[in-house]
Chain A
């Protein structure tokens, strides 16, 4: 058993760390306050140039072919500085992976280079609807065949990067009579397609620089060639790809949790109360020990899930366990770290309040913690004969 990283993985981790420190960290606070879109998009472009938008995409399509572990490492490093940038990167990678997994050659050659190179600022993943969140099989968006085209009608909500995604992977019902989940297909819809309107960004609690929008489809006409994968086979794909996305979100949460604890750790060694460093108080030492132990366990679960995926093995349960644990423990880490700063944790001059807001969503999107528990327990019970 060898838990060490390969040279390439270390290189990518270092590269992401350096970029996060030099380019993201200095603007993260400003992005949170003012949502400086130009700076945000500029950073996405630079990340694409560094190969971060298609880390697990084959090189013939412009990807980095670096694998899932490298992807996880990179997202963690980016999230240490700016969770908004990290989530956009994670979702864009996921979109590229869907296309790579089930797209035909033409689709791959058309879209993957655009996503990987940054020609598209980002990719969008259009699954959730107002009445179909945790249970997307109940979606209502429809695609109806009309000659050589498909016509889309319906709404998708809470779609990351809605404002600036160059292409969306969109799921829609194509067989009304099929059982829930059985008659859903997957489509590629380019940003700016007539009939697709993007709602204004939601005013969120955290990850404020990343836009989250509603997509309105009104008689949105797309060509037959926009069908991604097989007709009526889209739901299986969505479920499969979400498992990969979960590694991304878990890695993101880990990054935010580590950033918070690293900040607090430093603070404890500098601040004095009662004539000594806070770091001398065992109550605080033990809080530190517990949170770092949990984050390290989260990291190992993520590495395990990424490894299984990289090997081509079934990794759904492992990804759910890793996401569940990493996002919950990262939340705890952010609250503990904030508490360790006392009054300074509460004010905006220090980054802890931002970490605590940013980490909050991680245990909700790409499947809530409960949904991860549903998946894990279902897999466990299935194996009991």
Chain B
């Protein structure tokens, strides 16, 4: 058993860390909205190094590297608190490469690779969160067969206020067909009939609602076959499992909170020491589970269950670390905008967004253990 990275991988890690020296202060991981211009600039700089296309095949201008490189990159970026991995170079680009038309490949892949265009994920709806297959936003082909006309509402879209394009899951088939009646579309956010409105969140950032009112989307902007979206989004998700919840985030949470406790002069408190010992083992658990997901992907194993377990542990650890400091870090820990309470408020979403803990547990019990139901 060897859980170390290779020499080349470690050299890349060093290169990433050097690159991030210039971006250490962005703080766009916890809350991207307020610092989007800086995050965008960093993505462009990554694009210059072709890091947004690390695992893309060379025919699309990619570097053809293994998953470990993406893991290293986004884990370091998470640790540096700079940003989360962008949707564009992951879910969107990988789906286009697999299912997109030549025109879509030519239009979007070069610009995504250089960090020029960014996408917002428009899947969830007010009535369809955990139960995504129940979504109702309609995409109806017009009589001429040239356009789809979109009507409906999406809910909780991260970053939609700043993105250029929307990556939309909509119903082209019957409601009762559930996941088998859905198609994927790319749509410029400026298209007539689209309204993005903010939903302020507990961390003083925002999510968004996205409304579609007779929005015309050319047929050429449908990705993959009509009613064939379910498989595409599943595969896209599978492509991203190793970078969805990088443990660098919780490692950094822990380090920041240790600094906080020491600065408060609480480092020698026995209760605090006991709790921190517990938390550091949770962080290591998240690190190991993160690597396990990576290993599964590198070996071509299905990583669904590993990823679900990782999400459960990782996201609870995200919450346990600041919660502990709110408990023990003195009242300054609760002052608005100070690090412990800020991280805590942000961490609340982690067990909800991207599939709730309850859904992850049902994935584990069904798929890993074979429990029926």
Contacts and interface: CB of A to CB of B under 8 A. Distances in A.
Interface of A: 133, 157-158, 202-206, 272-275, 281, 283-284, 335, 338-339, 342-343, 345-349, 353, 356-357, 360-361, 363-365, 368-370
B326 A360 contact: yes
Interface string B121-140: 00010011111001000000
Nearest to A369: B327
A228 B327 CA distance: 33
6 contacts: A133-B331, A335-B319, A339-B357, A342-B130, A343-B353, A356-B202
A15 to B, nearest CB: 32
Given A342-B129, A348-B202, A205 B334 contact: yes
Contacts of B337: 203
Interface residues of B, number: 38
A363 B334 contact: no
Nearest to A363: B327
A346 B361 contact: no
Contacts of A158: 331
B324 to A, nearest CB: 12
A62 B61 CA distance: 82
Nearest to A33: B200
B202 A347 contact: yes
Interface stretch (B65-73, B84-92, B227-235, B343-351): B343-351
Given A339-B356, A343-B207, A357 B202 contact: yes
Given A339-B352, A342-B129, A348 B200 contact: yes
**7 smallest beta-carbon distances between A and B, as pairs:** A353-B202, A273-B131, A203-B336, A343-B156, A205-B341, A348-B200, A347-B199
Nearest to B349: A346
A343 B202 contact: no
Contact of A204 (B127, B330, B334, B361): B334
A273 B127 CA distance: 7
A283 B361 contact: yes
Contact of A364 (B129, B201, B202, B334): B334
A361 to B, nearest CB: 6
B284 interface: no
Contacts of A345: 348, 352
Nearest to A131: B265
B271 interface: yes
Contacts of A272: 127
A349 B134 CA distance: 24
Residue among A157, A275, A283, A342 with the highest chain B CB neighbour number at 10 A: A342
Contacts of A283: 358, 361-362
Contacts of B326: 360, 364
Nearest to B155: A343
A338 B349 CA distance: 10
Given A343-B156, A343-B207, A370-B271, A348 B201 contact: yes
Interface string B41-77: 0000000000000000000000000000000000000
B192 interface: no
B211 interface: no
Contact of B129 (A343, A347, A361, A369): A343
A349 B328 CA distance: 30
B330 A133 contact: yes
A32 to B, nearest CB: 11
